[in-house]
């Protein structure tokens, strides 16, 4: 065994091709290794086999009497029929009894990613050591007003950041690396273990400070082993829609955890090598206690088609339109596909023009790493140069296949793209499927394109897209090789995970050995058993708004934005005499998106009259000012509902006026100008934001 790096005392990366002897840690009673037997010599049957020639008179064949072979053992297929036995189902109570007194388990939990596709992050903890697998984001859905994306809630890790031994990144997709830029500094820059492509993509997302502090170690999944305290981590190569994807085999004091995350098994991948089934099988042979397997395509039968086949189809389509200018739109993250498109285009002597920031960044990185080897001058950014080349020498490769608002293709379709204008007869190829929820945006995009006279190619029968995620048969293959004792379907919504559970049960994994935790729910691994814990971390929704500067935790902000978006906003400003608490002048009112202009005057007047009468009434009852305004807010909502049938966002603000001095009062607690009640220490209410 050669030590590759020994920068930390116990935490090392080793290069090795030897098998790891951790069997002692996988000696659970539930995994019974069959007693080995050695067949040393061929035992001569008491009677040689008799061959029966075709069309012979069988009556002549001597049939030995039973009594002639008393010592012959009865032929039996016992070993092959064993799987038909239905072992007794263990109850949770019986399983709990297998936990030794005072035994400390290995704890495994997903901070998110177990109730949705995306925002993936797994934590594995033993005593005071933690390792983390991936840290992804999820783009906000259309009803999350103003939010860009969501990241995992790392409060648990913040409290234990000194225990984090490392973050392992399985591949470079945003739902696995996208949160790193938001959390890495807060976690004191734990070492990131990953491959060059994922590291390159992470680096592109970081600001200067994070880049300076970033600590990382590159791993080669074929040969490297990382030792971090009680954990020993091996890697195995898998296929996906991006090269350099890998799964992890994490050896822990309580057994081996295999974490496959995004994978498919592709025997003829386009630019990668096939998944390392040999190594996966070896890991399975040595004993896997718990397998965490992705469930995205659990409902899709068959094997995931190879990217190479898709590449061939794209090549055919490009050839079909050999005289026309072609625009191809696909996911910037689908690097395997992009490389194939570029190679096909260059073979046709087309120059590739890139549009979309993520497309440009990712292709630059692939050129740096050697994945794209076509001459540099054949790949350029979109510019006026396009019009100087004949149509058959141009291909535009762009983002926007999901109809994203400011994406390159959407801007082209609405003639808002600088430096390039689509013209009738251009061909636009969609090499991507529409993600559920984006149908409307994609429909609008396609309508705009055909209105411009563009020829669209998105016929699914052309198979221009394949998934990077395992279909059912790939899942079964992985399960068959790993032969896990316990299984937890991850990465997916409830339906996907439950379907994956059924697949595992079909493959004879006992139902009680399959765990379906929710986000934050903890799995506990003991020597003899793996159990769902009653403990569950309370996770917040951490939304990133704008340029990732502000974390918006909780539902209040969302709720407020939802009300403002749907019902509008009304603000009332009360001017109150400092001493007498009488109203000074009229209550001012402002509203936005509330009612049509023809109704504004009448409805504003009704609101002011109601608020004024209520204030005077409460004041007569000697109600405290803040209490008075809170009461107005509560009753005004009902009053507005009576007028227009709905409630807008209400903001009640007040200003104290010192009429004696006729100057603005000192900035004391009681003289804050222009703040809402809540900002002055009121209760936390929806209307705070």
Nearer to Zn ion, 105 or 113 (CB): 113
Residue 195 CB, nearest distance to Zn ion (Å)? 13
Residue 521 CB, nearest distance to Zn ion (Å)? 23
Give the residue among 154, 149, 151 at the shortest CA–CA distance from 109: 154
Residue 260 CB, nearest distance to Zn ion (Å)? 12
Nearer to Zn ion, 234 or 262 (CB): 262
Could you give the CA distance from residue 231 to residue 235 in angstroms, rounded to a whole number?
13
**Side-chain half-sphere of 449: how many Cα atoms within 13 Å?**
27
Nearer to Zn ion, 173 or 289 (CB): 173
What distance, in Å, lies between the first and last C-alpha atoms of the chain?
Answer: 60
Nearer to Zn ion, 198 or 558 (CB): 198
Nearer to Zn ion, 470 or 479 (CB): 470
Residue 248 CB, nearest distance to Zn ion (Å)? 15
Helices (H), 433-555: 439-451, 472-482, 494-506
Could you give the CA distance from residue 648 to residue 670 in angstroms, rounded to a whole number?
28
What is the sign of the dihedral through the CA atoms of 389, 390, 393 and 396?
positive
86-94: long-range contacts, CB 8 A cutoff, minimum separation 24: 87/510, 89/510, 89/511, 89/512, 90/510, 90/512, 91/512, 92/512, 92/531
> Can you point out the beta strands (E) in 306-393?
326-329, 351-355, 379-381
Residue 262 CB, nearest distance to Zn ion (Å)? 4
Other Cβ atoms within 10 Å of 332 Cβ, number: 22
Nearer to Zn ion, 262 or 458 (CB): 262
Residue 290 CB, nearest distance to Zn ion (Å)? 21
Nearer to Zn ion, 331 or 656 (CB): 331
Nearer to Zn ion, 178 or 400 (CB): 178
* Strand 588-592 relative to strand 649-657, pairing: unpaired
Give the residue among 610, 603, 686 at the shortest CA–CA distance from 650: 686
Residue 469 CB, nearest distance to Zn ion (Å)? 8
Nearer to Zn ion, 122 or 513 (CB): 122
Residue 261 CB, nearest distance to Zn ion (Å)? 8
Residue 134 CB, nearest distance to Zn ion (Å)? 10
Question: What values do phi and psi take at 130, rounded to 5?
Answer: -130, 135
With vertex at residue 116, the alpha carbon angle to CA 150 and CA 562, rounded to the nearest 5 degrees, is: 50
Nearer to Zn ion, 330 or 344 (CB): 330
Nearer to Zn ion, 173 or 325 (CB): 173
SS3 at position 462: helix
Contact positions vs Zn ion (CB under 5 A): 173, 262
Residue 275 CB, nearest distance to Zn ion (Å)? 14
Could you give the CA distance from residue 187 to residue 166 in angstroms, rounded to a whole number?
11
Contact 514, 527 (CB under 8 A): no
96-103: long-range contacts, CB 8 A cutoff, minimum separation 24: 96/529, 96/531, 98/29, 98/526, 98/528, 98/529, 99/526, 99/528, 99/529, 99/531, 100/526, 100/527, 100/528, 103/526, 103/527
Residue 607 CB, nearest distance to Zn ion (Å)? 52
Answer left, alpha or beta for residue 373, where phi above 0 means left and psi between -120 and 50 means alpha: alpha
Residue 471 CB, nearest distance to Zn ion (Å)? 15
Nearer to Zn ion, 173 or 279 (CB): 173
Nearer to Zn ion, 173 or 217 (CB): 173
Residue 132 CB, nearest distance to Zn ion (Å)? 17
Contact 227, 14 (CB under 8 A): yes
Contact 186, 154 (CB under 8 A): yes
Could you give the CA distance from residue 588 to residue 653 in angstroms, rounded to a whole number?
10
């Amino acid at each position: 065994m050669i030590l590759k790096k020994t920068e930390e005392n116990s935490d090392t990366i080793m290069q090795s091709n030897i098998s790891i002897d951790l069997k002692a840690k996988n000696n659970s009673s539930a995994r019974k290794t069959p007693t080995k037997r050695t067949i040393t010599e061929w035992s001569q049957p008491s009677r040689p086999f008799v061959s029966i020639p075709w069309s012979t008179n069988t009556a002549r064949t001597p049939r030995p009497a039973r009594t002639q072979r008393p010592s012959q053992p009865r032929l039996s297929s016992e070993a092959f029929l064993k799987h038909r036995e239905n072992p007794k189902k263990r109850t949770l109570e019986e399983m709990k009894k297998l936990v030794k007194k005072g035994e400390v388990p290995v704890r495994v939990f997903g901070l998110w990613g177990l109730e949705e596709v995306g925002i993936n992050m797994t934590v594995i903890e033993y005593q005071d050591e933690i390792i983390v697998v991936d840290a992804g984001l999820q783009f906000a859905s259309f009803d999350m007003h103003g939010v860009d994306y969501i990241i995992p809630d790392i409060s648990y890790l913040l409290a234990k950041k000194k225990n984090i031994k490392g973050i392992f990144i399985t591949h470079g997709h945003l739902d696995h690396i996208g949160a790193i830029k938001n959390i890495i500094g807060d976690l004191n820059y734990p070492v990131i273990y990953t491959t060059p492509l994922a590291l390159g993509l992470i680096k592109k997302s970081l600001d200067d400070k994070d880049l300076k502090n970033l600590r990382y170690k590159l791993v080669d999944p074929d040969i490297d082993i990382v030792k971090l305290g009680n954990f020993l981590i091996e890697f195995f190569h898998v296929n996906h829609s991006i090269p350099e994807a890998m799964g992890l085999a994490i050896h822990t004091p309580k057994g081996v955890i295999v974490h496959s995350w995004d994978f498919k098994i592709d025997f003829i991948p386009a630019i990668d090598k096939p998944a390392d089934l040999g190594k996966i099988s070896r890991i399975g042979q040595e004993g896997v206690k718990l397998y965490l397997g992705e469930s995205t395509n659990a409902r899709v039968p068959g094997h995931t088609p190879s990217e190479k086949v898709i590449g061939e189809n794209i090549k055919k389509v490009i050839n079909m339109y050999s005289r026309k200018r072609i625009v191809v739109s696909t996911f910037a993250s689908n690097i395997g596909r992009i490389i194939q498109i570029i190679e096909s285009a260059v073979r046709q002597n087309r120059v590739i023009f890139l549009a979309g920031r993520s497309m440009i960044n990712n292709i630059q990185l692939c050129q740096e790493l050697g994945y794209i080897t076509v001459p540099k001058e054949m790949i350029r950014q979109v510019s006026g140069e396009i019009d100087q080349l004949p149509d058959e020498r141009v291909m535009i490769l762009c983002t926007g296949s999901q109809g994203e608002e400011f994406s390159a293709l959407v801007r082209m379709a609405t003639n808002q793209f600088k430096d390039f204008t689509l013209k009738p007869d251009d061909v636009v190829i969609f090499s991507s499927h529409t993600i559920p929820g984006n149908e409307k945006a994609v429909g609008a995009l396609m309508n705009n394109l055909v209105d411009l006279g563009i020829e669209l190619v998105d016929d699914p029968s052309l198979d221009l897209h394949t998934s990077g995620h395992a279909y059912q048969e790939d899942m079964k293959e992985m399960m068959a090789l790993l032969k896990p004792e316990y299984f937890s379907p991850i990465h997916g919504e409830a339906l996907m995970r439950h379907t994956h559970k059924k697949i595992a049960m079909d493959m004879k994994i006992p139902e009680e050995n399959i765990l379906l935790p929710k986000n934050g729910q903890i799995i506990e691994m003991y020597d003899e058993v793996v159990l769902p814990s009653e403990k569950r971390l309370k996770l917040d929704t951490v939304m990133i708004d704008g340029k990732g500067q502000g974390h918006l935790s909780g539902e209040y902000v969302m709720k407020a934005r939802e009300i403002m978006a749907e019902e509008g906003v009304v603000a009332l400003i009360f001017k109150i005499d400092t001493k007498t608490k009488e109203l000074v002048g009229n209550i001012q009112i402002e509203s936005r998106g509330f009612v049509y202009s023809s109704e504004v005057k009448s409805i504003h007047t009704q609101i002011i009259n109601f608020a004024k009468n209520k204030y005077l009434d409460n004041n007569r009852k000697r109600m405290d000012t803040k209490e008075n305004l809170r009461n107005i807010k509560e009753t005004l909502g009902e009053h507005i509902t009576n007028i227009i049938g709905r409630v807008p966002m209400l903001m009640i603000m007040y200003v104290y006026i010192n009429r004696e001095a006729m100057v603005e009062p000192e900035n004391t607690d009681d003289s804050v100008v222009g703040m809402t009640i809540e900002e002055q220490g009121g209760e936390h209410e929806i209307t705070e934001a």
